[in-house]
């Protein structure tokens, strides 16, 4: 158990204490500047008094923006400041500059009308925050996605935004997702949401890469009513999405698939024991299948054709070991994952029997329809592992000893480290040759 050094429990409060003391010092200086500005105005030095008053106002504004929110998050208001977040927009910044100019003019001239205008402008800020809080209150989110998602394939998602308030509608809402791997690729905007109603927004989502996408919540924000403040609220919308690797055939797939199919046909040919028919000899037929009695009767070469015990049985073996973790090796690893996923989809389409294996996962030999998605889900989250040839060799040796039938092996290991029994009834794909 890790033991904290003495006094470390008080360390989180030290920044707050320093920030509090700095805020008090800044407010004190601002107060004395305001008194000095009043004294300068009474002596007739209006220009210097206006500049001093502006400096006092600016210093108080800096304290309000930097110190007050930080201290509020460490008090009983923390749950409110976490739930509601405010940020100043560009129009809001211009608005504050206008307030500063009018404040300087009011302090310089003492005109009551300017003070009334200044008070009205300042009152718009809390009113804007209050109305924004009412707009964001009572909202609910639900994101619906298809059950199966593939990398690079666009899908339609449905976002349901509900307004549970009994009286007030919600206006000008924007829904965004948080990084690092957001589910929503772009913000979704809803202009008007009546009370006790919902709106459904459809959007197209494309996940560029395989893997696990986690979304702890979605952020709803609004600039209603004046656009001076952007108020946001995080709504719980827990989503953990597994994006399967792409099964779209690549150029390498079209080049290698005929070779794999040929090896598989050669391995399966003649493995049955039940006689199916006697036919004419072809050049590709093995000599051991020649039926000499039928040949003697007809005077032409005849061969026996047997029924197959299994249609097609294949085991996909994925060795995730790589020698190093540079960009080239990682890119080759991703290509191997995509190729293996495309090959699994191919055997699913031809209704073959398939088994998938890696060093930490294994499916039984069954119809590809039953083993396809478990294999793809494993390939979606599989990560490369730095290993020596001896480590991967032990895994491949276990495969050669325990997995019968025809095997397609994806590996990055050197050819000299491959066990000899694996060469006899396997097709090996070395990712360094792609």
Asked if the structure places residue 5 within a domain, the reply is no
Query: What tokens were used for 224?
Result: 């209603």
Quick one: 119 and 89 in the same domain? yes
Of 30-34, 144-148, 205-209, 308-312, minimum mean pLDDT range: 308-312
DSSP state of 4: P
Of 46-50, 272-276, 342-346, minimum mean pLDDT range: 272-276
Quick one: 207 and 286 in the same domain? no
Give me the pLDDT at residue 121, please.
87
Per-residue pLDDT for 74 more than 90? no
Of 135, 166, 190, which residue sits at a domain end?
135
Give me the pLDDT at residue 313, please.
84
Asked if the structure places residue 183 within a domain, the reply is yes
Per-residue pLDDT for 69 more than 70? no
Question: What are the C-alpha distances in Å from 419 to residues 310, 394, 398, 400?
Answer: 26, 9, 10, 8
Asked if the structure places residue 229 within a domain, the reply is yes
Of 263, 284, 307, which residue sits at a domain end?
307
Give me the pLDDT at residue 164, please.
92
Per-residue pLDDT for 84 more than 90? no
Please write the tens of the pLDDT for every residue from 37-49.
Answer: 788 877 877 778 7
CB of 78 closer than 8 Å to CB of 72: yes
**β strands within 207-247, DSSP E:** 211-222, 229-244
CA distance 51 to 381: 62
Quick one: 262 and 345 in the same domain? yes
Question: What are the C-alpha distances in Å from 304 to residues 262, 291, 298?
Answer: 21, 6, 14
Asked if the structure places residue 2 within a domain, the reply is no
Quick one: 264 and 329 in the same domain? yes
Strand-pairing partners, residue 409, are: 317, 428
End-to-end CA separation in angstroms for the chain? 47
Percent of the chain with pLDDT over 90: 15
Quick one: 226 and 130 in the same domain? no
Can you give the CATH number for the domain in which 193 is found? 2.60.40.10
Asked if the structure places residue 421 within a domain, the reply is yes
Quick one: 379 and 265 in the same domain? yes
Give me the pLDDT at residue 343, please.
92
Quick one: 282 and 174 in the same domain? no
Structure confidence at residue 380 as a pLDDT band (50, 70, 90): very high
Quick one: 255 and 340 in the same domain? yes
Quick one: 203 and 318 in the same domain? no
Of 105, 135, 165, which residue sits at a domain end?
135
Tell me how many domains the chain contains. 4
Per-residue pLDDT for 81 more than 60? no
The arithmetic mean of pLDDT across residues 27-54, rounded, is 80
Quick one: 195 and 153 in the same domain? yes
Give me the pLDDT at residue 277, please.
64
Give me the pLDDT at residue 303, please.
78
Quick one: 380 and 260 in the same domain? yes
- On average, the pLDDT of the chain sits at 80
CB of 99 closer than 8 Å to CB of 121: yes
Task: Identify the domain containing residue 412 by its residue range.
Answer: 251-271+310-433
Of 6-20, 248-262, 309-323, minimum mean pLDDT range: 6-20
Give me the pLDDT at residue 92, please.
86
Please write the tens of the pLDDT for every residue from 333-344.
Answer: 999 999 999 999
Quick one: 41 and 71 in the same domain? yes
Query: What tokens were used for 236?
Result: 């719980």
């Amino acid at each position: 158990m890790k033991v904290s050094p003495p006094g470390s429990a008080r360390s989180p409060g030290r920044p707050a204490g320093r920030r509090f003391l700095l805020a008090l010092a800044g407010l004190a200086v601002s107060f004395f500047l305001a008194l000095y500005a009043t004294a300068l105005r009474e002596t007739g030095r209006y220009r210097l008094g206006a500049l001093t008053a502006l400096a006092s106002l600016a210093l108080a504004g800096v304290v309000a923006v930097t110190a007050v929110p930080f201290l509020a998050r460490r008090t009983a208001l923390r749950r409110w400041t976490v739930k509601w977040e405010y940020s100043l927009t560009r129009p809001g910044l211009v608005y504050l500059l206008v307030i500063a100019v009018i404040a300087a003019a009011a302090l310089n001239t003492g005109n009551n009308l300017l003070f009334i205008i200044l008070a009205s402008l300042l009152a718009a800020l809390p009113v804007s925050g209050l109305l924004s809080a009412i707009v964001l209150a009572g909202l609910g989110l639900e994101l619906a996605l298809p059950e199966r998602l593939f990398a690079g394939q666009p899908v339609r998602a449905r976002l349901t935004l509900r307004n549970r308030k009994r009286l007030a509608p919600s206006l000008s809402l924007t829904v965004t997702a948080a990084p690092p791997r957001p589910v929503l690729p772009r913000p979704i905007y809803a202009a008007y949401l009546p009370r006790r109603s919902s709106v459904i927004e459809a959007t197209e989502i494309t996940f560029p890469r395989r893997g696990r996408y986690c979304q702890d919540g979605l952020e709803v924000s609004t600039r209603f009513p004046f656009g001076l403040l952007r108020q946001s609220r995080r709504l719980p919308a827990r989503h953990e999405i597994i994006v399967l690797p792409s099964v779209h055939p690549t150029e390498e797939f079209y080049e290698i698939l005929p070779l794999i199919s040929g090896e598989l046909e050669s391995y399966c040919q003649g493995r049955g024991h039940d006689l199916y028919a006697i036919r004419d000899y072809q050049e590709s037929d093995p000599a051991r299948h020649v039926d000499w009695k039928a040949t003697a009767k007809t005077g032409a070469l005849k061969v026996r054709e047997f029924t197959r015990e299994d249609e097609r049985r294949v085991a996909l073996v994925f060795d995730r070991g790589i020698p190093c973790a540079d960009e080239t090796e990682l890119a080759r690893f991703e290509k191997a994952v995509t190729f293996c996923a495309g090959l699994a989809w191919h055997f699913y389409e031809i209704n073959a029997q398939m088994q998938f294996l890696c060093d930490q996962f294994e499916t039984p030999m069954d119809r590809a329809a039953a083993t396809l998605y478990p294999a793809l889900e494993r390939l979606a989250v599989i990560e490369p592992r730095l290993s020596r040839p001896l480590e991967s060799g032990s895994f491949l040796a276990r495969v050669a000893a325990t997995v019968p039938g025809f095997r397609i092996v994806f590996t990055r290991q050197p050819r000299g480290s491959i066990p000899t029994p694996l060469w006899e009834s396997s097709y090996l794909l070395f990712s360094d040759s792609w």
